Amino acid sequence: RDASEYPFIVAGSAFLHIPVASIDGMNVVYSDYIMDLQALRIYDKKQNQEASANAVSDRALSRLIMNKLTGRVAEEYGVSLDETKIKQATDVLISQYSSRETLEEEMQAGFGWSLDTYINRIMIPSLLEQKLLEKFETEDATIGELHVKEQIQGRHNLFKVEKESDRKKDKTAAQK
């Protein structure tokens, strides 16, 4: 939590891909952590929110870890974003401001980032998470049915069965 923000250290960690954390074989690069830490400080200051250094550090690191995990799960389930979806979300965001330039200024003032950085670090991971949640919601019934089926199959295999007629009776009982 006592992170060095010296430009040489941050640049070196980016070049060497030095991790600040690792989860399930995936590294969160130190320079990404520092970038998010700095952005959260700017954001909190602009919102007149005071948070401890540890709280800000935890928020930055947990978001980066969550993005890594979301990316892994999305890949496992074949969920991805296309450029059209990203452009639509970007257009919606821009439409909330008088111009793209105004939004760029707000991003710089609110996070210390360009709009492209915001899109890549915040918007795209959020869109991917939403799309993954939608997939789980639509496939939830199928996943649940498979889980119940596995439980039933496992459960009726635990009964000692002497006769075939007993097997059918026990299987019926196990399914209840």
pLDDT at 13: 80
pLDDT at 157: 46
- Model's pTM, two decimal places? 0.71
pLDDT at 165: 61
| Helix 83-95, helix 124-156: angle, nearest 10 | 130
State the Cα–Cα distance between residues 59 and 53, nearest whole angstrom: 10
Which residue bears the tokens 């007993």?
Answer: 166
pLDDT at 169: 65
156, two tokens: 């009726």
Which residue stretches of the chain have pLDDT < 50? 141, 144, 146-159
Residue 27 DSSP code:
E
pLDDT at 148: 47
pLDDT at 162: 58
Per-residue pLDDT of 2-17, as tens digits, reads 677 767 787 888 888 8
pLDDT at 142: 54
CB 91 within 8 A of CB 72: no
pLDDT at 87: 96
